[in-house]
Each structure stands twice: as C-alpha cells, then as structure tokens.
Structure 1
Amino acid sequence: MSDEIRRQLVEAGVAILERDGLQALSVRKLAAEVGTSTMVVYTHFGSMTGVVDALSDEIFARFGEALAAVPHTDDPVADFFSMGAAYRRFALRNPQHYQLIFGTAVPASLSSCRTDLTVTGHATSRDTSFQVLCASVRRMIAAGRIRDDGEAAVAGRIWSICHGAVTLEMAGFFGTEGHGLRDILSPLTVDFLVGMGDERGRAEASLATAAAMHLASGN
C-alpha cells in the first residue's frame, strides 16, 4: 500500500506540474490532489526537495523511454531524425516537464546533479536519455555517415541544436503549424550532418524516410 500511495503522489505531482507549473506545487496541494494528509507526503519524500527530486526522476524516465521507443532500422540517420522528432514531441506536449529537467531556473537539487558532459560523457547523474542519444551517434559513426569526433561531444552538439530550436519553438517564435520542424530544425540538422561528413543527398533521403515513418505512425 505504501508503494501505491507513493506512486499516486508522484502521478499527482507530475499532473500539477504540467497543469499549474512548478511554482504552484506544494506539499499541501499535492496532499489535497491525492486526498491524503501532508504528513503522508513528508513520510514518503521528507521535504519539498524530495518531492521535486522524485518528480524529476519520473520525468527523466518518461523522456528516456520516449527516445528509446524509436525503433531501429537499417538507416541509423533516419532513426536519428525519428529520435529528434520524439524529442521535440515530448517537449511541446509537456513544456513544464521539459523545463523542469532541462531549464535554467530549476531547484538547486536538480542543477547540482548536472555534469560537464564533455568531461564525464554524461549529462546528469539521473538522466539516461543522453546515453540513448550517444548510442544513436555511435551507430551513425559506425555506419560511416559522420566522422568520429567523440560520441559525447557529437551528441552534445546535436543536443544543442535540438534544445535551442525546440526552446524557441516552445516560446512561440516559430508559430504553431510545424514550421519550426520543417523550416528550422530539419534543415539545420541536415546541414550539421553534412558538415560532419554525410552526403547531402543521403542525409536528405534519411530525413524523408523518417518523415514518412512519422506520418505513418500518426504522431
């Protein structure tokens, strides 16, 4: 029963975060959402810091699962584009979640777990999604599509492109009709891959393959 209550509290916290934002989250509001006492919240999480840490762990897990769910084909570059679409989709559908795990204005307990990925090869001590991206980079290098500048460094460059474009789209600078993906992120990523050694025709063909899979899936 204790595990079930904890699960309900985490689910409720995630819902409050997306609906009202982090600033609206409190022990009292979380308890009321589940229909329990504040003491139960403190028993399971210790403090608001514990609550936020638990929510971030849950959101990191969901984000990592969204990226890892992209199927592998015989075209690692097409798979990479599909992963980029999954990244963008998660961020746009869950903006508060995305800002909690990757934003700059986050609680100290979250910022303190972030690491210098150029040194450690890991983005944070909690996030597995960066390793999913590294694996995608490794596949593209192994296929001879891009040069090997070190998978963590290349993944960091790709992440910078995707995060920057998605953050600007979330802020409304590219509208709401998908122009950010069509006119900004996709061609920018093609240019990056070409700069990393891929042939433009092959990169564009991989993009077209990913786009067709995206349309077929209905996402």
Structure 2
Amino acid sequence: MTTSKGRVRNKRGEGAQLRDEIVSGATRLLVQGGEHSVTLRAVAREVGISAPAIYQHFADRDAILFAVAEVAFAELEHALNDVGDHADPADRLRAVAVAYLTFAKHSPTRYQIMFGGVWDASKSLQRTPSMAADLAELGLGAFRIISRATADCIEAGCSTGTDPHADATALWAGLHGLAQLQVATPLFPWPSGLQSTLIDRLALLRG
C-alpha cells in the first residue's frame, strides 16, 4: 500500500532493513502496476522515505530491479529445493522441473524481471561494468539444482545423456521457453501432458 507519510529513522545498523524494504516496495509496485510503475520517486513513496535516501543503497533504477531479480531467484531456488525426497532420481528431476514451471506461472511479473523482461541487462552492464560478476552469478543457484538432478539421473542410468551440464542447460532452456510462452499465450490450446513430455525428452529420461 502506497503511503506518503515519513518513516521513523532507522537506528544505527538497520540500513540493511531499509534496503530490504526498498526491494520489497519495488516488488509490490511491479506486481501491482508493471514495469512503468517502478520509478525512484514511486519506490520512495511506497516505502515512506525521500527519494534521495534510496541512493544510500542503490545507484539507480537498474540496481533496484537487479536486487528484485536476486530476491526472486532466491525464491525460485528455494522452491526447487523444496520438492521433497524422491527415491527415483528421475522423479526428483521431474519434480524440480514442474516446480520451476509452477513458480513462473504463479509469479509471472517476477519471472519476467528475473530474465530481463522489464530491464536490459546488457545496457545495465555497459553503464555499470562492475555489475559483471553479479550478473554472472544471477540465477546460478537455481541452475545448479537442475544440473545436480540431471547428473543424478545420468549416474543412476535413468537418462541416456552423457553431459550433465549440456543436458541441464537444454532442459533449462526448454523450461524457460515453455514458461514464457504459456504466460504470453494463455489462450493457446496447449496439449495435455505437454510438461511431462517436454521434461522427459529434454532430460533424455528413459521410458
């Protein structure tokens, strides 16, 4: 809920709390109003601070959106980790893949910003080369879960694949493509069982 009221000044050592509130405020604006609703002034109003106070934590709008993406990727990573135990490695990989698609479906706005849908990562990198290391790490936690599950399938003989990294990359690309398509074309007559078919084929799982 947007407010123009001033906030109580954080105590010494509570700067991290304000940073988190700025990211949460930007996320709310994105979910409620889309990309154009996120400006430094709008975020400041949402959090209840002055616009200049944002610069204590973020250099510009891109930096805020990057932080929102980081939080969203952390939530995705948690969702992929939280699929429970599966005795069969193939079942675990399928569960991880379905959790990925479910996250994208239930959080379409966040998913868009995670992959540059409302900001241009390349231009941000040109403006701020120091972001390179952070951009290189963005999303790797979630990918490593997919990669580890893929490797377990290959090791257990559940998959005909031989290169865990290449196979996990192919699966991730396919999941991302399906997630984006289903958000963009919700009225398309998607075949029943498409998710299972896509996952099994891309992961080279044995029948």
TM-score normalised to structure 1 length:
0.75
Deviation at 1:110, TM superposition (A): 8.1
Match of 1:18 in 2: 31
Q: Which amino acid aligns with 1:10?
A: V
Give the secondary structure class of the aligned counterpart of 1:12.
helix
Structure 1's 44 and 66: CA in aligned 2 closer, same or farther, altered over 3 A? same
Q: Which amino acid aligns with 2:95?
A: S
Give the secondary structure class of the aligned counterpart of 1:72.
coil
Q: Which amino acid aligns with 1:38?
A: A
The yes-or-no answer on 1:183 pairing with 2:193 is yes
Match of 1:217 in 2: none
Structure 1's 34 and 109: CA in aligned 2 closer, same or farther, altered over 3 A? farther
Higher helix proportion, which one?
A: 1
Higher alpha-carbon deviation: 182-191 or 60-69: 182-191
Q: After the TM superposition, which residues 37-186 of structure 1 pair with which residues of structure 2 at under 5 Å, given as runs?
A: 37-103=50-116, 106-108=119-121, 112=125, 124-127=136-139, 128-173=141-186, 180=190, 182-186=192-196
Instruction: Tell me, yes or no, if the aligned pair for 2:153 and 2:159 is still in contact at 8 Å.
Output: yes
1:34 to 47, 51, 63: 47
Matched residue count = 185
Gaps of 5+ in 2: 1-13, 127-134
Instruction: Tell me, yes or no, if the aligned pair for 1:49 and 1:109 is still in contact at 8 Å.
Output: no
Q: Distance in 2 between matches of 1:109 and 1:35?
A: 31
Q: Distance in 2 between matches of 1:111 and 1:146?
A: 39
Q: Distance in 2 between matches of 1:172 and 1:131?
A: 29
Gaps of 5+ in 1: 114-122, 201-219
Q: Which amino acid aligns with 1:187?
A: T
Q: Which amino acid aligns with 1:184?
A: L
Q: Distance in 1 between matches of 2:81 and 2:119?
A: 25
TM-score normalised to structure 2 length:
0.79
Match of 2:8 in 1: none
Deviation at 1:20, TM superposition (A): 1.6
Match of 1:214 in 2: none
Instruction: Tell me, yes or no, if the aligned pair for 2:31 and 2:110 is still in contact at 8 Å.
Output: yes
Deviation string, structure 1 residues 162-190 (Cα, Å, up to 9, x no partner): 11222111113455xxx748332212323
RMSD: 2.4
Q: Distance in 2 between matches of 1:147 and 1:181?
A: 25
Give the secondary structure class of the aligned counterpart of 2:137.
coil
Q: Distance in 2 between matches of 1:151 and 1:110?
A: 32
Structure 1's 110 and 85: CA in aligned 2 closer, same or farther, altered over 3 A? farther
